[in-house]
Structures are given as C-alpha cells and as structure tokens.
Structure 1
Amino acid sequence: MATLKEKRTCGQRCEDFGRFVWNSDTGAMFGRTPEKWGILYYVAFYVIMTGLFCLFIQSVTISGMVSANLCVLCVCVCVCVCGVMVWPPTYIEEDVILSYNLSDKTSQRKMSNCLSNFLKPYNDTSQQSNHNCTRGEYFKQEKFEAPHHTKYSCRFTQSMLGRCSGLDDPTFGYNGTTPCVIIKMNRIINFLPNNGTGMAPHLNCTILSGHENIDMMEYFPTNGTFDLSYFPYYGKLAQPTYVNPLVAVKFHLVKEREAKIQCRVVAHNIAYQDSYEPYQGKVVFLLKALK
C-alpha cells in the first residue's frame, strides 16, 4: 500500500534553503565546505590559464606557418610600417653613430668583423639550398611545395653587394675613407611593396648635414633596389631559410670625413613621416672617420 508523502510547509522549505546556503553543523556553504570551494576555484583557475596558454601557442604557431594576417595587422592598417636597420650597429642614447679611426687597426677591425659576421648567412654555401628566383617578379606561393612541408625562399648571396660584399675587400672600406653601410628591412608577413603594383622598393640616402664631406655614394645592388622576388614573406616556419634582402651603400668621405645621413626605403605603402614614430621606415646615423 502506497504511503502519502507529507507535504512540506513554506516555513520548512525556507528552513531547508537556509541550511543549504549555510550549514552550521558541517560548515558548508551552498553544499560545499570552504576546502572544497578552494579546490574548485583553483581547478577553474588553472583550466582557464591552460586554455589561454594554448590559445597563445596556437596563435604564435599559426602566424609563422600560414599566411596569417595577425602580424600584418599589428603593423599595417592602411599604410605599412616597415622597420629599417643599419649595420654595423653602434648606438649612443637614441642616435646611431658609425665611428672608426683611420690610424687604429683595432677600430677598423671591429667594424669589418661586425659586417663579416652579419653576412655569414648570405655566403654561397648557406644560400645554396635556396631557390634561384626570377628577378623583378613577386614570388607568390599558394602551396607548401618545398621540403619538409615548407615554402621556397629566394637566394640572396653576399656577392650581390658588389664592392660592399667583403669578398674583394674584407675591410669593407674601413681601412680608408670609403666605408660600407648595410641596410636591412624588417620582415612583414604577406607584405607587398607598393601595394602589389609591381614596382620594387628602393633605398634612398640623403645627407642631412656635412654635404661637403661626402664626395659620392654607391648603392649595391644597382639603384639600391630591394628586388620583388623577396616578397611576400610567409613567416619563419613557412620559410625557415628566408633571408632579408639587403642594400649596401659605400660612402666616399672627404675633408672633415663626417656627415649625418638619412636612409629610407621608398615605396607607396611604407610610411616614413610620423610624429609619433620618427624613425619609422627610415634610419638616421652619423658617419665619422677619425684620424
């Protein structure tokens, strides 16, 4: 014979709910003791932190392997922000100063050794595995057809820097008054200079002060061009053997042998006039040959 369940009053229900919220006998709150709440909190905390870490690793990995626009978007909105670097690097406060002594072999050797070490990835042996690309054309790759599921990288050899390659003159002109300076553009994923119009960017150096102290400037490669075949760049994992295209400038110093120079990469989508980023798209340095 079925028994009838006693119907609980409103007061009893309120009492049960109050005991659920706080049970003075067990010290439980909402059915759990403080110890269990603490364990639950730390479990949730570490689950969330692990999830965020996994998302971070995924974003870093993907941006290097595929044509992810994450890196482009952080540096490029309507006008691309390209960084420019100069070698040998010598920084005093915010200025770049390239200074050497004509009567000090150690000073000259320091500058030439810096350039020699910088150009090691560009020697013929290191570049042998890279692709011999068609000059003057973008090297666009839709698929990962290179070994180890990567994309091909175009060959840039040290000899392309001509009289600033260090092959014929290992001093790079620092044993006299014709020093070489090498300019490198920073890498930007999927960046096409001049918005993909087929015009190659080029380096343009101007003398800000000390015009009378520079007789001539020579660019290597010819016209200071960053060839289109090195664009676009697909990321470090997609192109592990990629090397930045370079332009070298040989300065012929005369008289006081000191000048302040600005070099910038010329392209429609590379900004160089920004009050908030004064060194965006260009580099300014002081070149001095002491005696």
Structure 2
Amino acid sequence: MATLKEKRTCGQRCEDFGRFVWNSDNGTFMGRTPEKWVYISLYYVAFYVVMTGLFSLAIYVLMYTLDPYAPDYQDRLKSPGVMVWPDTYGEEDIEINYNTSDKACWTKMSKILHKFLGPYNDTKQLECNNYNCTKGKYFIQKTFSAPHHTKWACPFTQSMLGPCSGLEDPTFGYNCTMPCVVIKMNRIIDFLPTNHTELPPYVNCTILEGQSNVAKIEYFPDRGVMDLSYFPYYGKLAQPTYVNPLVAVRFSLAERNTRRSSAEWSETRSATKATTNPTREKSPSTSKQ
C-alpha cells in the first residue's frame, strides 16, 4: 500500500526552488552549468541572425523586382466604374432626396459637392497642373519629364463644370428645381477608352420613370464629354497631381413640381443605375417620381 507523501511546508518549497536556481553542490544554474548556458545562448543568437538575414534578403529581392509605378499583376477591368456625387447611395439605387423649403436638407447636398470639388479649385489646378494639353488626343508620356521625376497631368478646373461648378451658384441648384450631380470615372492604370468610332467617352442620362417630371437635362462640360487628354492614367506615384475628369449633369424639373409640398419633396427620389462598357462611358440613368 502506497504511503502518503509528507506535506511540504512553504519554506521547504522555497528552499527547493532556490536550489533549482543555483545548486552549489554541482555548480548548476537552473539545471545547467554556465558553460552549457553559453553554448545555448550562442546557438540561438546565430539562429536568429540567420533567420533575420534570410527574411531581409527575401524582402530586398521582392522590393527590387517590383515596379514602383504600376503593379506587375492587376485584375484589369474591361471598363472603369463611375461614381456619383452627392454620395447618396441607397439599397438598390442612388437616391437623392431633398426638401427645397428645408435649408438644412439641401445645404447638406451642397456641402458634399463643395468638399468633393475642393481639389478641382481653379487656382490649385493651374499651380500644380500647369501644362497645356492637346485636347482630343491621348496624352501618351514615355518619359518622366515633369518635376521630381514624375509625369505631367492635364488640369481639370472647377469652372469647367459651368453652372454646376458651385462658383456661380453655391447651392448647386438644390435650393430650387435645378439640382446638379457630378459623375466621376474611376481610375485604371494605362486604360485607354477606345472604340470603333472617334468619339471620346461621354455621359448620357436616360429617364427611366416619370419622364414628365424632368423638363431638361444639361451636361457640363459640353455634351458630357471626358476628353481623351486625361488618358491614360499612369498611377499615383507617376502622376501625383492627377485628378479624375468629371461630368456634371443638371436636371431642370418640370414647373408643376414646384407646387409640391415639403412632405412630397422629401419623398421625391432620383434613382440612378450606372452602366459602362469598354468603348463608351454612359452616365447613370435617372428617374424622377
């Protein structure tokens, strides 16, 4: 029959731990002699030095082979997408709801557009993109001839959006029945919008529902064209001052809509669906109910 071990006191346990840390009988520190501790320390130092060197070499080779201006591999899209401002995306469509008699409501829309158009300020653009581009032609650049080893970017100024620039009308028409939306084409490196015709990419809106609610649609710049001189895009590092070309669309609502109450205006929505193809950019199709 096994005998019960004698219960050790706290002092005895502390004494055993002290003997483990330093055993004066055989001269060991935590179970090993000082000589063995030196060998183990040297081994781990050499091991981590080698591992650090291999990791650094791998990172160096990777960074050396990468092109700093464009990705080696990219999931190229057939055509870039478009974004619409004010940024009011709903569950299925783009919904632009505002109440003309509620200043706080349409002021929010105008603030969104003013913030978005900040980089397109005429003074800023003429300072950072002071280059005379040839309209109607691709701006192909094979060398880094711009300052700081970069490439030139064509200026796109806020005033090019005409009545929808926010310069003539700071409310962008949201205080009345002529609201503006701004459409931006997303960037794809080295993308050239080519087709079987000589037409540049442009924006075209079609009323899906409630055609009688919209009396007129206007585009700025003229005909909603995105000039070819803004293509191709060479990347953020190569063209740090590049800005996306824009098209502003102004909807002139039918006069009878002005007699609607505020509650009815708050329910009015602009549903937008963006459709693009490799040859031509078309704007969101818009319906007013």
Letter in 2 for 1:262: K
Question: Residue deviations 1:43-92, cap 9 Å, x none?
Answer: 666556545655665677x343xxx364xx5332xx62312111110234
**Fraction of identical pairs, as percent:** 50
- Partner of residue 184, structure 2: 184
Once the two structures are TM-superposed, the CA of residue 104 in structure 1 deviates from its matched residue by 0.8
Secondary structure in 2 matching 1:100: coil
Question: Residue deviations 1:167-188, cap 9 Å, x none?
Answer: 1101000001111000111111
- Partner of residue 34, structure 2: none
- Partner of residue 15, structure 1: none
**TM-score, with structure 2 as normaliser:** 0.70
Distance 1:35 1:197 in 2: 73
Secondary structure in 1 matching 2:194: helix
- Partner of residue 169, structure 1: 169
Unpaired runs of at least 5, structure 2: 1-38, 258-263
- Partner of residue 272, structure 2: 261
Once the two structures are TM-superposed, the CA of residue 258 in structure 1 deviates from its matched residue by 3.9
Q: Among 83, 86, 108, which residue is 1:85 paired with?
A: 83
Q: Is the 8 A contact 2:96 2:270 kept in 1?
A: no
Unpaired runs of at least 5, structure 1: 1-32, 271-280
Distance 1:201 1:267 in 2: 10
Q: Is the 8 A contact 1:214 1:259 kept in 2?
A: no
Secondary structure in 2 matching 1:114: helix
- Partner of residue 234, structure 2: 234
Query: Paired residues, what number?
Result: 241
Distance 2:287 2:52 in 1: 52
Q: Is the 8 A contact 1:206 1:262 kept in 2?
A: no
Q: Indicate the larger mover: 48-57 or 163-172.
A: 48-57
Q: Cα distance 1:217–1:50, how it changes in 2: closer, same or farther (>3 A)?
A: farther
2:245 is the alignment partner of 1:245? yes
Q: Indicate the larger mover: 177-186 or 203-212.
A: 203-212
Letter in 2 for 1:260: A
Q: Is the 8 A contact 2:97 2:270 kept in 1?
A: no
- Partner of residue 103, structure 1: 101
Distance 1:197 1:127 in 2: 31
Distance 1:141 1:181 in 2: 32
Q: Is the 8 A contact 1:172 1:180 kept in 2?
A: yes
- Partner of residue 121, structure 2: 123
Taking only aligned residues, the RMSD between alpha carbons, in angstroms, comes to 3.3
**TM-score, with structure 1 as normaliser:** 0.70
- Partner of residue 224, structure 1: 224
By percentage of residues, which structure has more strand? 1
- Partner of residue 9, structure 1: none
Distance 1:223 1:49 in 2: 56
Distance 1:51 1:208 in 2: 59
Once the two structures are TM-superposed, the CA of residue 102 in structure 1 deviates from its matched residue by 1.0
Once the two structures are TM-superposed, the CA of residue 246 in structure 1 deviates from its matched residue by 0.3
Distance 2:142 2:79 in 1: 25
Question: Residue deviations 1:134-183, cap 9 Å, x none?
Answer: 11011111111111111111010011101111111010000011110001
Letter in 2 for 1:74: Q
Once the two structures are TM-superposed, the CA of residue 203 in structure 1 deviates from its matched residue by 1.1
- Partner of residue 7, structure 2: none
Q: Indicate the larger mover: 254-263 or 173-182.
A: 254-263
Q: Cα distance 1:161–1:269, how it changes in 2: closer, same or farther (>3 A)?
A: closer
Once the two structures are TM-superposed, the CA of residue 105 in structure 1 deviates from its matched residue by 0.5
Distance 2:125 2:108 in 1: 25
Letter in 2 for 1:177: T
- Partner of residue 27, structure 2: none
Q: Is the 8 A contact 1:185 1:245 kept in 2?
A: yes
Distance 2:126 2:175 in 1: 31
- Partner of residue 23, structure 1: none
Once the two structures are TM-superposed, the CA of residue 217 in structure 1 deviates from its matched residue by 1.0
